[in-house]
Amino acid sequence: MLNTLAIIILSLMGASLIYVLYRTIDGRPVERRIVFAYIGLAVMLPLMMKVTPPLPITTDVQKLYEHIVKLPPGSKVLCAFDFDPPSAPELQPMAVAFVKYAFKHDLKLIIMGLWPQGPQQANMALQEAFRDSLVAVKPHEEGIDWVNLGFQSGNEFVILSMGDGFKRMFPRDTRLIPYDSIPILKNVVNFSNIDFIMNFGAGYPGTREWVQIGVDRYKSDLGAGTTAVQATEVYPYLSSGQLVGLLGGMSGAAEFEKVLAEKGKASTFILAQMFGHATVMAFVIIGNVAFFVLGRKKKNPEGNN
């Protein structure tokens, strides 16, 4: 019933945009609160519809996937959680999908964060992964299959110091267990002992800093999941090969879930994303149509050609 109601309201909203167009051309643009209401409904109603539109896999996501599947079981992956709750709708689904994949394929996760909230977001991703029945088949012990080293202040200086030795910046994990006592970190001195770095970044410090120091200085392989705002800025690193692959924004997260065959939140959010975009595009078109029509009216005030 919710599905039907949502479709009816969305259809009425679409039809009412004609009235918005009429008013705007008439020189009486609608109040901004009306625009807010359209956007709010356009995002809210599709969430009730439980429809997942088909999504093609882009080359950026495919490249990352092809790199990850080549990692043999037992590979040590450094997972950098560099985001906070506002970026979680985009990045948390990617992180959860990656963590689930890692546990199912016996990749060892070394988690840390350059953002204070990162390790807590990592804990949430771990808990969600442990609830997956395919992950829960085999126990994943802290210290053996994964470890959370926590947050350290210093931004890119943390990455620089890690090049010398991880222990310098992370002498203990989040449970205050000394670095040398953690089994997964045995023989892990610096980046040369890591098989892959996966960064989930929302800004500064984030993917750019990992490329600058982790890749260009310490020659590591880096894959990145970023917010959509950040994604446009890191595309040059993808085309130059400094990044092995890129997940950009929520659509990147949805594609990643699809390519890993994981059920996740990003896939369910894509329909709402579509309607949100459609609404913004509709308002831009309305504004520009009115701009041109009103501009013509000013040039020919009496309708003369």
Partner 1 sequence: MRREVPVLITSIAGLVFAISYFIPHTPFGRAESIFGDWVSIVQAFAIWLGVLNLLKVSLEKIFRKSEGWPYSYLIIASLFGTLIVGFYSGFSGINATPQYTYSDTGTGFDWVYQNIYTALTSTMFSMLAFFVGSASYRAFRARNIQATLLLISGFLVMGGRVPLLDRISSIFTETPIFSNLANWIMNYPNSAGQRAILIGIALGIMSSSLRVILGIERSHVGGGN
Partner 2 sequence: MELLGIWIGAILTLGIFSFLYKDNPVYKVTEAIFIGVSAGYYAIVYFFDSIYKKFWLGAVVAAEKDLMLYGGAVLGLLFLSRLYSKTSWIARWPLAFIVGATAGLYMMTYFVTNGMNQVASTISDVAQKSDLAGSSWAEVLGTYVILVGVVTGLIYFFFSKEHKGAFGAAAKVGIWFLMVTFGASFGYTVMSRMSLLIGRMDFLLGDWLRIIN
Point out which span in 95-103, 133-141, 170-178, 181-189 binds partner 1 (CB under 8 A).
170-178
Residue with tokens 């609404």: 279
Interacting residue with partner 2 among 133, 187, 239, 300 (CB under 8 A): 239
For 53-66, letters b (16+ CB in 10 Å) and e give: eebeeeebbebbbe
By the 10 Å C-beta count (0-12 exposed, 13-18 middle, 19+ buried), 280 is classed as: middle
To which H or E segment does residue 240 belong?
A: none
| Residue 189 touching partner 1 (CB under 8 A) | no
What six digits make up the tokens of 164? Answer: 């010398």
Query: Site residues for partner 1, window 195-224 (CB under 8 A)?
Result: 217
Q: Which is nearer to partner 2, 107 or 238 (CB)?
A: 238
Interacting residue with partner 2 among 229, 288, 289, 292 (CB under 8 A): 229
Residue 298's binding partner among partner 2, partner 1, none (Cβ under 5 to 8 angstroms by kind) is none
Residue 171's binding partner among partner 2, partner 1, none (Cβ under 5 to 8 angstroms by kind) is partner 2
Cα separation, 213 vs 218, in Å, equals: 6
Backbone torsion region of residue 254, taken as left when φ is above 0, otherwise alpha when ψ lies between -120 and 50, otherwise beta: alpha
| Residue 277 touching partner 1 (CB under 8 A) | yes
CB 209 within 8 A of CB 161: no
Angle at 94 between CA 90 and CA 99, to 5 degrees: 145
Strand-strand pairing, 76-82 and 146-151:
unpaired
Size of the site for partner 2 (CB under 8 A): 56
Minimum distance from CB of 101 to partner 2 (Å)?
22
Q: Which is nearer to partner 2, 78 or 102 (CB)?
A: 78
| Residue 171 touching partner 2 (CB under 8 A) | yes
Cα separation, 109 vs 80, in Å, equals: 10
Looking at the DSSP bridge assignments, the partners of residue 248 are 226
| Residue 222 touching partner 2 (CB under 8 A) | no
Query: What would the x/- binding string for partner 1 be over residues 82 to 111, using CB under 8 A?
Result: --xxx-xx----------------------
Q: Which residues bind partner 2 (CB under 8 A)?
A: 2, 33, 36, 39-40, 43-44, 47-48, 50, 86-90, 116, 150-153, 156-157, 160, 169, 171-172, 176, 208, 211-213, 215-217, 227-229, 231-232, 236-237, 239-242, 248-251, 265, 269, 272-273, 276-277, 280
